[in-house]
Amino acid sequence: MIHIFLKEINSFFSSLIGYIVIGVFLITLGLFLWVFPETSLLEYGYATLFPFFSMTPLVFIFLIPAITMRSFAEENQNGTIELLATKPLTDWDIILGKYFACWALVIFALLPTILYYITIYQLGSPIGNLDSGATMGSYFGLIFLAGAFVAMGLFASSLTTSQIVAFILGVFLCFFFFLAFDYFSVMNVFFGIADVIQSFGINAHYESISKGILDTRDVIYFVSFIVIFIILTFLSVSKRKWT
């Protein structure tokens, strides 16, 4: 697994694609959070990172499938998935190595955003007038969210030989599981069980963690969600590898 992990990290940063993806992520967030007046943190009038934590998941919907789309689609297209199978590696080694590499890359892309926290912390009146507990909880929420999106993106990549198709399918899965259940919950047909319907979606658990309280139920949800999609990826890879 470590071999695959290092191979994926090296492959990502040995090409311009890795730097472009991370660069676009940081520039997009930077423009929305510091330049555009409608969403600028400087226009809020008080110290808060709420716009950052509400906008980043929407950027993740496109960023993470762009990172994961080549994971298996490229291997399937080039026929190298069979070559990997001949090495002393199990399917789990391959899948988990790729999964943790992609997850690590997303976390790496998040690291520069700590500057946003430092900036708002210093701009507060008085200095430090910022809810650090909620901020830390929101970062944990983003990390869990990234893990769930990576699992879905990896599954999408395992289903096809086309990176474009893998990207589109990954975006759809991330969008559906993040927002669709919120829309379903307000439909009249689900009157009376709105909270139950909403709890199936990722957004409800992300918002819960973002309040600064690490609820065991939210952690179990994210871990279960990730495990389910990794298992689906395993089944997909196992099937495609020998067909």
Instruction: Answer whether residue 103 shows pLDDT above 80.
Output: yes
Q: Rounded to whole angstroms, what are the CA distances from 90 to 78, 81, 96, 226?
A: 19, 12, 10, 19
* Cis before 126 (ω within 30): yes
Instruction: Give the chain's mean pLDDT.
Output: 84
Q: Residue 136 is inside which H or E element, if any?
A: helix 132-158
For residues 113 and 96, give the distance between their C-alpha atoms in angstroms, rounded to a whole number.
26
Q: Higher model confidence: residue 193 or residue 59?
A: 59
Take residue 34 and report the two structure tokens written for it.
């510091």
For residues 229 and 226, give the distance between their C-alpha atoms in angstroms, rounded to a whole number.
5
Q: Higher model confidence: residue 84 or residue 114?
A: 114
Take residue 42 and report the two structure tokens written for it.
């400087």
How much is the pLDDT for 191? 67
